[in-house]
Amino acid sequence: MDYGETYSIIKKAGKKIVTQLPDAKIGDWKISHRIATEEDVKTQKLKAAMNGMYGEYAVFEPGNYVILSLNGYTIMSNTDMEIRTNIEVVQKAKGNVLIGGLGIGLIVLPIMNKKEVKKVTVIEKSKEVIELVKLHLPFNDKVNIINGDINEWCPDNNNKFDVVYFDIWEDVCTDNYEEMKTLMKKFRKYMLKKKEDRWIDCWRREDTKRLVYEDRFGY
Ligand SMILES: C[S@@+](CC[C@H](N)C(=O)[O-])C[C@H]1O[C@@H](n2cnc3c(N)ncnc32)[C@H](O)[C@@H]1O
């Protein structure tokens, strides 16, 4: 799948999720919908530019968005930035896949539909997120969603993954980098032996690493 094709598939999944996830609140977690108008888009772009984050919103179109939030803070949405930054995992997914973080299911839907994918195990820490999302989306029988903390959860030793991906962070911040390294080290043990047969990564790990270097060395 090339970049453009994968982008369109994830975008289409986002549109489906917008129509299928109902507004709901469980505990501190909430699913809500928002229509972004031309005016909203302009304001958001201006705000982002003033905060030196224009790149994040360079493509932000008017339209319907679904938002997963915790105590009013957005954790996940079907924005262009989320689509673009999750393209690689959808391209790489094959065989036995492990994902840390369910969110709104934006990447699970395209991944489970790939014929090269046999099984998708999703570890999600919040029971509320599972309750808000699982029953409303058409997950197929390749998908197994488990309530657990990816830092603590371990598969049984015979279960070897082809692809492992962690998307448990709501933003890019230097504090996430140590957790990324620890998770990658831990889960390499549960992957296929040959490096060329497997792929493991974290959402926006390279951007996070860049921030860590900027902080440490000023570049
Ligand atoms: C940004 S969202 C994931 C988005 C998801 N990739 C998607 O396609 O919609 C982050 C998710 O990770 C979950 N999470 C946070 N920390 C976690 C942990 N330690 N273990 C498992 N899930 C975690 C959050 O509850 C949230 O559902």
Domain boundary among 31, 66, 83: 83
Domain count of the fold of the chain: 2
* Sign of the alpha-carbon torsion through 130, 134, 139, 140: positive
Q: Give tens-digit pLDDT for 80-123.
A: 989 999 999 999 999 999 999 999 999 999 999 999 999 999 99
> Which helix (H) or strand (E) element contains residue 118?
strand 117-124
Global pTM value? 0.93
Nearest CA to 123 out of 145, 96, 90, 155 is that of 145
Look-up of token digits 């505990």: 27
Residues 197 and 162: beta-carbon distance below 8 Å = yes
Same structural domain, 78 and 132: no
The residue from 63, 83, 103 where one domain ends is: 83
Q: Which residues of the chain have pLDDT under 70?
A: 53-58, 219
Q: How far is the CA of 116 from the centre of ligand 1 (A)?
A: 24
Let me know whether 77 and 142 are in one domain: no
Q: Is 151 in the pocket of ligand 1 (CB under 6 A)?
A: yes
Judge whether 125 and 9 are in contact, CB under 8 Å. no
d(CA 78, CA 64): 9
CATH number of the domain enclosing 154:
3.40.50.150
| Candidate of 17, 76, 127, 164 to mutate for ligand 1, largest count of ligand atoms within 8 Å of Cβ | 76
Residue range of the domain that includes 31: 3-83
**Amino acid identity for residue 27 in this structure:** G
pLDDT computed for residue 219 by the predictor: 63
Q: Give the type of residue at 183.
A: L
Indicate if ligand 1 lies below 6 Å from the C-beta of 85.
no
Q: How far apart are CA 156 and CA 193, in angstroms?
A: 16
